[in-house]
Amino acid sequence: MDTIIAGAIYTLIALGFNLIYWVTKFFNIAHGVFIVLGGYTVFLLHNTLGLGLLPGVAAGVLLVGVAGMLADRAVFSILRRKRASSVIMLVASLGILWALQALIALVFGTGFQRLSGMGEIPETYEIFGAVVTEIQVAIMAAGISVTALLALVINKTRFGRAVKAIGDDEEVARIIGIDTDRIIGYVFFIGSAIAGLGGILIGFDVGLLPAMGMMLLLKGITASIIGGAGNIYGGALGAYLLGLVENIGVVAFSGGWRDASAFGLLIIFLLFRPRGILGT
């Protein structure tokens, strides 16, 4: 059951990351801070200012989406116009992660915070003999429904076709009349908003730390790469595989080896199957 919960969380991170990678072809490290930003926005709106749970979460997701879009406007779109290399884009996004992460720590403190509001003692359910909390059910549901929804948007809408076209070749997409900057801006909105949702759910489940974004993001990147970078289903598949391998690592050795086993898996994949499970 831990595997499925971890897999669902990594799915939410990998989906947005993968979507952005698909159209921009760079590793957006700033994605990590949008996870954390989501959690803290809800902390501010819901726990501190007393906004209701659902409006708080909805506002949190939207605000993170807007933040992602602003990052694209202010930094990445300019770099794209300058035809900066993917390494420059990566370093620029690393700067955004550091600056925002430090800002969050300055506002909320570097300590551990937990989102509350689901009642003091979380309601638990039994699924296949395993006890899960209400929020963990929400995480699993979110993992599946967001994947399905995103697949629907990509495959059935005009916007989705434009995203695919840009993913194949941005230059050609622009020539055939697609407003690539606008579409990429929306992609940043959607991708970051999904990351924010992931961060909110993590905040309810295990809690928030300002500095946790980097490690979560690295898990998301790992999931994307082993599933197939730039393939939404691949990201989800990779996420569950990663969750499984991590938990095997924890059971076989100890909790301290969780992160190391994740990266061991990444390196093995990159050496022997660099395009991932579903990559082409």
Partner 1 sequence: MDYLIHIAVYFTIFSITGMSLNLIVGYTGLFSITHASFYGIGAYTTALLLTRLGAGFMMSVALGVLITFAAALLVGMVLSRFSDDYFAIVSLGFSTIVFAVLLNWQGLTRGGQGIFGVPRASVFGYRLVSNADFLMLSTAFFVVTFFICRFIVNSSFGRVLKAIREDEAAVRIFGYNTVYYKLAIFVTGSMMAAAAGSLYASYIGYIDPSVSGVNESIFMFVIIILGGLGNLYGPLLGAVFLILLPEGLRYLGLPVIVSAKIQEFIYGMVLTALMLCRPQGLVGEYKP
- Cα-only R_g, the chain: 18
> Distance between CA atoms of 149 and 165, rounded to whole angstroms?
19
H or E segment at 246? helix 232-252
208 to 267, contacts with partner 1 by CB under 8 A? 211, 214-215, 218, 221-222, 225, 253-254, 256-257, 259-260, 262-264, 266-267
Instruction: List the x/- string, 182-211, binding to partner 1 by CB under 8 A.
Output: -----------------------------x
> Distance between CA atoms of 184 and 226, rounded to whole angstroms?
24
Name the nearest CA neighbour of 91 among 102, 76, 104, 78.
Answer: 76
Binds partner 1 by CB under 8 A, chosen from 70, 84, 138, 206: 84
Closer residue to partner 1 (CB): 53 or 214: 214
Scored b (16 or more CB within 10 A) or e, 184-211 reads bbbbbbbbbbbbbbbbbbbbbbeebbbe
Shortest Å distance, C-beta 225 to partner 1? 8
Shortest Å distance, C-beta 102 to partner 1? 4
**Binding window for partner 1 (CB under 8 A); candidates: 96-104, 149-157, 176-184, 186-194:** 96-104
Burial class (CB in 10 A: 0-12, 13-18, 19+), 23: buried
Report the residue count for the chain: 280
- Interface with partner 1, residue 112, by CB under 8 A: no
Q: Which residues bind partner 1 (CB under 8 A)?
A: 26-27, 75, 78-79, 84-92, 94-103, 105-106, 110, 211, 214-215, 218, 221-222, 225, 253-254, 256-257, 259-260, 262-264, 266-267, 270-271
